Amino acid sequence: MAEREKKITELKELGEFQLIEALTKDVQLYHKSTIKGIGDDAAIIDAGDKAMVVTTDMLMEGIHFNLVYTPLRHLGYKAAIVNFSDIYAMNAKPKQMVVSLAVSGKFTLETLQELYAGLKLACDTYQVDLVGGDTTSSMTGMAISITVIGETEKDKVTYRSGAKVNDLICVSGDLGAAYLGLQILERENKLFEQHKGFQPNLEGYDYVLKRQLKPEARKDMIDFFAEQGLQPTSMIDISDGLSSELLHICSQSDVGCKIFQNKVPVEERAEIAAAEFNIEPLICALNGGEDYELLFTIPLENYDKVIHNKEISIIGHITDKSEGRYMITEADTAIELRAQGWNAYGETD
Ligand code: ADP
Ligand code: MG
């Protein structure tokens, strides 16, 4: 009898989210205390009076960072920030963190102390306690895996799934600059590799480089919501580009959206950098990554509460699912939003 051929699926056939879905679709939850498992920026666990919030993120050398142009102090800072950002995206505050590190013999104590200086600075700045971790060796470069535990009131937890028709779609800060910072670093690095004695010129790019190398997480937004008594209906942090994150909110909330090109916030210094690379700054905002801004929706009647906050842009509104997911351009044409964020397996989805 011919043996049935076992199906083999190459990882490059799947996007990151399809892979996670395929691996986790039959995961069972056994505890009532697990309020939210896989599928949001962080898991939510019942902790008596409060909700405990848990997230983890791993950064790999050669995939997420290049040590040729990433100072280890900045890397430590960023590794912490990307986790804090996921906790804020649940409308919670980070409290504790554990750090797991894999390193090869090419590192010295002094360089790893630099990494820790960055981690500690992030902890001091955001008031987080470093409470443990693990250390091991690696043959293939450095890996840093960080898990952060946060806390919030149970009724303040904000999921990706709560957006309602007519809600306003809001975004903090500005978008696209971190992607442009990466393009500058990559360009100078290539020139450095090709030409002996080449001196990288990073002058004038401070803003976009800072957005790439030393991002911040939007603690101020969570404080603002608390001060204003404002409860977003849905929220996500922007790690993969605005399009992809907005589509997550829409699919998990079962709604459509309409955003306006001219409302998408792009900083002038990002526009200048984009022009050098001949790319549309808007494309960097939609499909670039690593901005770590917050994308959230609020009920229409909360308009007055956000309109005076210069850190918040209202970029559109939530529509019925049947109306689709569109961006209206300056020329008044509707373009369907597509996810073209990062894909760790080498191809965009
Ligand atoms: P984020 O970009 O906000 O960190 P991800 O896109 O990495 O979120 O992950 C989406 C969801 O899938 C999260 O709830 C995350 O915890 C979960 N997830 C990601 N990878 C795995 C995995 N290997 N096993 C189980 N759950 C995972
Ligand atoms: Mg996230």
Residue 349: the pLDDT is: 35
Question: Each residue of 253-279: pLDDT tens digit?
Answer: 999 999 999 999 999 999 999 999 999
Positions of the chain with pLDDT lower than 70, given as ranges: 1-3, 341-349
Residue 1: the pLDDT is: 52
Query: Using CA atoms, how far apart are residues 248 and 295, in angstroms rounded to an integer?
Result: 11
Kindly give the residue spans of alpha helices, DSSP state H, lying in 195-314.
206-213, 219-228, 242-253, 268-276, 281-287, 303-307
Ligand with an atom nearest the CA of residue 85: 2
> Which three-class secondary structure state does DSSP give residue 221?
helix
Residue 3: the pLDDT is: 62
Q: Name residues whose C-beta falls within 8 Å of residue 51's C-beta, 6 or more positions apart in sequence.
A: 35, 44, 45, 92, 151, 152, 153, 154, 156, 157
Ligand 1 touching residue 319 (CB < 6 A): no
How many CB atoms are closer than 10 A to CB 314?
Answer: 16
Our mutation pick for probing the ligand 1 site, out of 11, 14, 20, counting the most ligand atoms within 8 A of Cβ, is: 20
> Which three-class secondary structure state does DSSP give residue 193?
helix
Our mutation pick for probing the ligand 1 site, out of 24, 35, 38, counting the most ligand atoms within 8 A of Cβ, is: 38
Q: Point out the ligand 1 atom lying closest to the alpha carbon of residue 24.
A: 25
Ligand 1 touching residue 86 (CB < 6 A): yes
Ligand 1 touching residue 267 (CB < 6 A): no
Residue 200: the pLDDT is: 78
Token output for 347: 């191809």
The pTM is what?
0.94
Ligand with an atom nearest the CA of residue 341: 1
